[in-house]
C-alpha cells in the first residue's frame, strides 16, 4: 500500500476532460465547479436549501435548512414533507418518461425483462397495497433479503411509498447475520426470495430465513413474504409465510404515497465498524434523495438518452443510491443484472455493455482487476472483442483503484475516450463525497481528486488541526451535509463515539486516512485507519471475524489482520490458537479449511480468511495485549523491524511465520 500511494503521489499523467464531453456536461469546466464551491462556502445552508428546493418534489415545502441545535444529530429541511417513492416514480407520470424503460433486467441466463416507468409504478403500488393489507404501518422495519431483481427494487420502493423503513441484507450473508439484523432492527416483516441464481448456480435464500428463526430472537416478525424466483420447493410456515403473488393478488395498481417528514428514516443499512457487531446506519428521506439526485447529475452527468449501469448489489449502499433510488428519481434507463461478471465467461460485462448499449458503467476495482487477469488467460474475453463504443463515462467505487487498473480501464474499456470518476464515499455518507466531475476535473489515475461542492472534506491530525498538502492524516468532513448518516439504529451513543469523537471538535470522522497532493490539492485515500478491512470492496470488521472464529469449539483465541492482495485489494489473515495442540501438516490444512467454512456459515462467504496460521500462542505484551502490528508484518511476509523486547513471548514470531 505504501508503495502504491507513493506512485500515486508522483503520478504525472493528467487527463483533461475531452472537449466533446465538456461541451455537453451538466458541470462544464472547473470555473463552474468552483462557482458552486464558492456558493456553498458563502452560505452552506442556503446552498443546500436552494438545491433541495430545485431537485426534490415536496408535498409540503420546508421553511428551514440545517438544524444543528442537537449536533451531531443534525436535521435538514425538517418541517418539509415528501415521499421518496413519489420522487422516483409519480413525478414521471404524465411526462414522456412514463413510457420510457426504467429497468432492463438481465437474468443470470441472459433472459431480458423490460419495465417502463409506468409498469414500475404499478408494480410498486400493487405490492405496497398488498403490504398495507397485511398490516404494515409507517415506521415498521422490513428486512429485504433478495437477489438482484426487479422485485427487489419494487420491494424497496414499496417500503418507501408506505413510510416503512427497509433494511436490505445482502444475499451473501448467512442465516446468523440475517438473524442479528432482524433482531437489532426489530423487524416486523421479512421479504425474501426462494433462491437466487448466480453463475448458473441456485443458492437458497428462504431456508436461511427459516434458519434465522430457529436461531431465535425473531419474535418481532409477523409475516415473511416470499418471491418465487425459481419456484424451488420450500417449507411454508402456516400463518407466517406468504408468497409475493398472494400479496399482490387482486390489489389495485394505484397507491397513495404516505407523506412523511424530511427526517423520516428511509432505511437502515448494516455495515462493519472497528468494534462489536455491525451497526445499523440510519438515513433520512429528503437529504438522502437530494444527494442521490444531485450526484446522478453532477458525477454521472446523467442525461435522458443515457443507459446507466451500476453493477453493485442492492445489498450494499451503492445499490441503494445508484440503483434503487438515484437513477429512478432522475428518470434514467438502467440495467439491472442478476448474475456475476465471470459467467458464462469473463466477457459478460463487455457483452452486456454492447448488448444494451450502455453509456455509463460503474463498477468496483476488484472486478476490473479480476477481469484483467481473466482475459490474460482467455483472450476471447478481452474487451477489444466487444463493441464498447456506446460508453461515454466510467466509474469506480468501493476501494482505491491502483493506477495500472485505472489505465487499463481507461484504455481497454473506455477506448481512451471516457472520463473515469473514482468516487470516494461510504455507507454513512449516503452518496459520493470526493470525486472528479467528468466535464470539469482533470483526472489523475489513483486519485479521487476533489470534494463535491458543499462537502467540506479536509485532512487533519489527531487534535483536529489542519495539515498542509503533502502530509498524510485523518480524513474528516467539517460541516454536516444533507445525506449524512443520522444515527446508528438503537445506539445514538455509539453513533456519537464512532463519527464525532470529542478530540475532533465536531468534525465527521470518516475512518480513512488520506493525503492531498502538494500542487493540485487532489485527495488520495490511503486506506482505513481503524480495524476495518476492505476485501473486494466489501467492508469487514476484524473483530467480527475474530468473534466468529472464537465461537468455534476448537478455537481458544484468534487475531485477524489485513494484508494487501493483488486481486481483492486486501485479504483476511487469521492467527489462531486452538484449545488442542497446534496442528501441523495435513491436520492443519484440514482444520484451517473447516474454520474457513465455519466463518462462511457464521457471517458469509465474503468473510472467509484467505490465510490461517496456527500458533501455540499470539504475540502479546506483558500486559496481555495482542501486538497486531507484528501480526500485520508477518501476514505481509515482511521482516520484523520493530522492537520486540516488550513481548512476553518473542519466540512465537518464528512459529507464526511458518505458512501452512
Interface residues with ligand WT7 (CB under 6 A)?
A: 271, 316-318, 397-400, 422-427, 448, 510-512, 525, 528, 534, 539
Measured between alpha carbons, how far is 553 from 34 in angstroms, rounded to an integer?
59
- Closest by CA to 269, choosing from 286, 278, 281, is 281
Give the three-class secondary structure for 614: strand
Shorter beta-carbon distance to ligand WT7: residue 212 or 475: 475
- Closest by CA to 320, choosing from 407, 192, 416, 427, is 427
Q: How far is the CB of 591 from ligand WT7 (least distance, A)?
A: 31
Q: How far is the CB of 255 from ligand WT7 (least distance, A)?
A: 31
Q: How far is the CB of 185 from ligand WT7 (least distance, A)?
A: 18
Q: How far is the CB of 536 from ligand WT7 (least distance, A)?
A: 11
Shorter beta-carbon distance to ligand WT7: residue 542 or 552: 542
Shorter beta-carbon distance to ligand WT7: residue 397 or 560: 397
Shorter beta-carbon distance to ligand WT7: residue 4 or 243: 4
Bridge partners, 243 (sequence order): 226
Residue 408, phi then psi, degrees to nearest 5? -65, -45
Task: Indicate the burial class of 568 (C-beta count within 10 angstroms; 0-12, 13-18, 19 or more).
Answer: buried
Q: How far is the CB of 642 from ligand WT7 (least distance, A)?
A: 25
Shorter beta-carbon distance to ligand WT7: residue 279 or 620: 279
Instruction: Please report the DSSP string for 185-210 in residue order.
Output: HT-SEEEEESEEEETTEEEESHHHHH
Measured between alpha carbons, how far is 652 from 409 in angstroms, rounded to an integer?
44
Quick count: other Cβ atoms within 10 Å of Cβ 96? 10
Shorter beta-carbon distance to ligand WT7: residue 130 or 273: 273
Q: How far is the CB of 567 from ligand WT7 (least distance, A)?
A: 16
Q: Which three cell numbers stand for residue 74?
A: 443534525
Shorter beta-carbon distance to ligand WT7: residue 258 or 524: 524
Shorter beta-carbon distance to ligand WT7: residue 106 or 399: 399
Phi-psi label, residue 199: left if phi above 0, alpha if psi -120 to 50, beta otherwise:
left
Dihedral sign, CA of 223, 326, 313, 100? positive
Shorter beta-carbon distance to ligand WT7: residue 242 or 529: 529
Measured CA to CA in angstroms, residue 189 lies from 103, 177, 194, 242 at distances of 26, 16, 16, 11
Shorter beta-carbon distance to ligand WT7: residue 80 or 400: 400
The DSSP bridge pattern shows strands 360-363 and 393-397 to be parallel
Q: Which three cell numbers stand for residue 153?
A: 427494487
Q: How far is the CB of 423 from ligand WT7 (least distance, A)?
A: 5
Kindly report the length of the chain.
660
Q: How far is the CB of 242 from ligand WT7 (least distance, A)?
A: 32
Shorter beta-carbon distance to ligand WT7: residue 1 or 600: 1
Q: How far is the CB of 528 from ligand WT7 (least distance, A)?
A: 5
Are 151 and 247 a contacting pair, CB within 8 Å? Answer: no
Shorter beta-carbon distance to ligand WT7: residue 129 or 295: 295
Indicate the residue whose CB is closest to ligand WT7: 427
Measured CA to CA in angstroms, residue 299 lies from 17, 145, 167 at distances of 13, 29, 26
Residue burial 6-23, b: 16+ Cβ < 10 Å; e: rest: eebbebeeebebbeebbe
Q: How far is the CB of 545 from ligand WT7 (least distance, A)?
A: 15
Half-sphere exposure at residue 292, Cβ-oriented, CA atoms within 13 angstroms: 30
Q: How far is the CB of 626 from ligand WT7 (least distance, A)?
A: 23
Q: How far is the CB of 516 from ligand WT7 (least distance, A)?
A: 14
Measured between alpha carbons, how far is 623 from 644 in angstroms, rounded to an integer?
14
Q: Largest alpha-carbon pair distance within the chain?
A: 75
Amino acid at each position: 500500500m505504501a508503495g502504491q500511494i507513493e506512485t500515486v503521489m508522483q503520478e504525472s499523467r493528467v487527463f483533461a476532460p475531452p472537449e466533446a464531453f465538456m461541451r455537453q456536461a451538466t458541470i462544464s469546466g472547473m470555473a463552474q465547479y468552483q462557482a458552486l464551491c464558492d456558493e456553498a462556502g458563502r452560505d452552506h445552508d442556503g446552498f443546500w436549501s436552494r438545491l433541495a428546493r430545485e431537485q426534490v418534489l415536496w408535498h409540503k415545502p420546508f421553511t428551514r435548512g440545517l438544524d444543528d441545535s442537537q449536533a451531531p444529530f443534525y436535521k435538514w429541511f425538517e418541517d418539509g414533507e415528501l415521499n421518496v417513492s413519489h420522487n422516483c416514480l409519480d413525478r414521471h407520470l404524465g411526462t414522456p418518461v412514463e413510457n420510457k424503460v426504467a429497468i432492463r433486467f438481465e437474468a443470470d441466463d441472459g433472459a431480458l425483462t423490460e419495465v417502463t416507468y409506468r409498469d414500475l409504478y404499478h408494480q410498486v403500488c400493487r405490492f405496497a397495497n398488498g403490504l398495507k393489507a397485511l398490516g404494515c404501518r409507517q415506521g415498521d422495519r422490513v428486512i429485504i433479503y433478495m437477489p438482484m431483481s426487479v422485485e427487489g427494487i419494487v420491494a424497496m420502493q414499496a417500503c418507501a411509498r408506505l413510510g416503512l423503513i427497509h433494511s436490505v441484507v445482502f444475499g451473501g450473508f448467512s442465516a446468523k447475520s440475517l438473524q442479528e439484523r432482524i433482531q437489532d432492527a426489530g423487524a416486523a416483516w421479512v421479504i425474501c426470495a426462494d433462491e437466487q441464481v448466480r453463475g448458473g448456480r441456485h443458492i437458497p435464500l428462504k431456508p436461511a430465513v427459516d434458519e434465522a428463526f430457529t436461531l431465535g430472537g425473531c419474535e418481532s416478525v409477523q409475516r415473511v413474504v416470499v418471491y418465487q424466483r425459481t419456484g424451488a420447493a420450500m417449507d411454508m410456515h402456516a400463518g407466517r409465510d406468504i408468497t409475493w403473488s398472494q400479496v399482490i393478488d387482486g390489489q389495485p395498481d394505484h397507491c397513495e404515497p404516505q407523506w412523511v417528514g424530511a427526517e423520516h428514516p428511509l432505511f437502515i443499512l448494516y455495515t462493519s465498524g472497528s468494534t462489536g457487531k455491525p451497526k445499523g446506519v440510519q438515513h433520512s428521506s429528503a437529504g438522502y434523495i437530494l444527494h442521490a439526485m444531485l450526484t446522478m447529475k453532477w458525477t454521472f452527468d446523467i442525461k435522458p438518452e443515457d443507459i446507466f449501469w451500476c453493477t453493485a448489489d442492492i445489498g450494499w449502499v451503492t445499490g441503494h443510491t445508484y440503483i434503487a433510488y438515484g437513477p429512478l428519481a432522475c428518470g434514467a434507463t438502467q440495467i439491472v443484472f442478476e448474475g456475476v461478471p465471470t459467467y458464462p465467461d469473463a466477457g459478460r460485462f463487455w457483452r452486456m455493455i454492447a448488448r444494451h448499449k450502455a453509456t455509463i458503467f460503474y463498477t468496483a476495482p476488484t472486478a476490473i482487476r479480476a477481469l484483467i487477469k481473466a482475459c490474460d488467460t482467455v483472450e476471447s474475453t478481452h474487451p477489444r472483442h466487444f463493441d464498447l463504443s456506446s460508453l461515454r463515462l466510467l466509474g469506480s467505487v468501493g476501494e482505491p483503484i491502483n493506477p495500472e487498473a485505472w489505465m487499463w480501464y481507461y484504455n481497454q474499456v473506455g477506448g481512451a475516450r471516457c472520463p473515469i470518476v473514482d468516487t470516494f464515499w461510504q455507507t454513512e455518507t449516503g452518496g459520493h463525497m470526493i470525486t472528479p466531475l467528468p466535464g470539469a476535473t482533470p483526472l489523475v489515475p489513483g486519485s479521487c481528486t476533489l470534494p463535491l461542492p458543499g462537502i467540506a472534506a479536509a485532512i487533519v491530525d489527531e487534535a483536529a488541526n489542519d495539515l498542509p498538502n503533502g502530509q498524510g492524516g485523518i480524513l474528516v468532513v467539517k460541516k454536516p451535509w444533507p445525506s449524512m448518516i443520522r444515527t446508528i439504529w438503537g445506539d445514538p451513543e455509539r453513533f456519537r463515539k464512532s463519527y464525532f469523537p470529542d478530540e475532533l471538535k465536531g468534525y465527521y470522522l470518516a475512518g480513512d486516512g488520506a493525503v492531498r497532493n502538494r500542487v493540485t490539492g487532489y485527495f488520495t485515500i490511503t486506506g482505513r485507519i481503524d480495524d476495518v478491512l476492505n476485501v473486494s470492496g466489501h467492508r469487514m470488521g476484524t473483530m467480527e471475524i475474530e468473534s466468529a472464529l472464537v465461537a468455534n469449539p476448537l478455537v481458544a483465541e484468534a487475531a485477524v489482520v489485513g494484508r494487501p492482495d493483488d486481486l481483492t485489494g486486501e485479504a483476511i489473515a487469521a492467527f489462531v490458537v486452538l484449545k488442542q495442540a497446534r496442528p501441523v501438516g495435513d491436520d492443519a490444512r484440514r482444520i484451517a479449511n473447516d474454520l474457513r467454512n465455519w466463518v462462511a456459515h457464521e457471517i458469509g462467504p465474503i468473510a472467509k480468511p484467505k490465510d490461517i496460521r496456527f500458533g501455540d500462542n499470539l504475540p502479546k505484551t506483558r500486559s496481555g495485549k495482542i501486538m497486531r502490528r507484528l501480526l500485520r508484518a508477518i501476514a505481509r511476509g515482511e521482516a520484523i523491524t520493530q522492537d520486540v523486547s516488550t513481548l512476553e513471548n518473542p519466540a512465537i514470531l518464528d512459529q507464526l511465520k511458518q505458512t501452512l
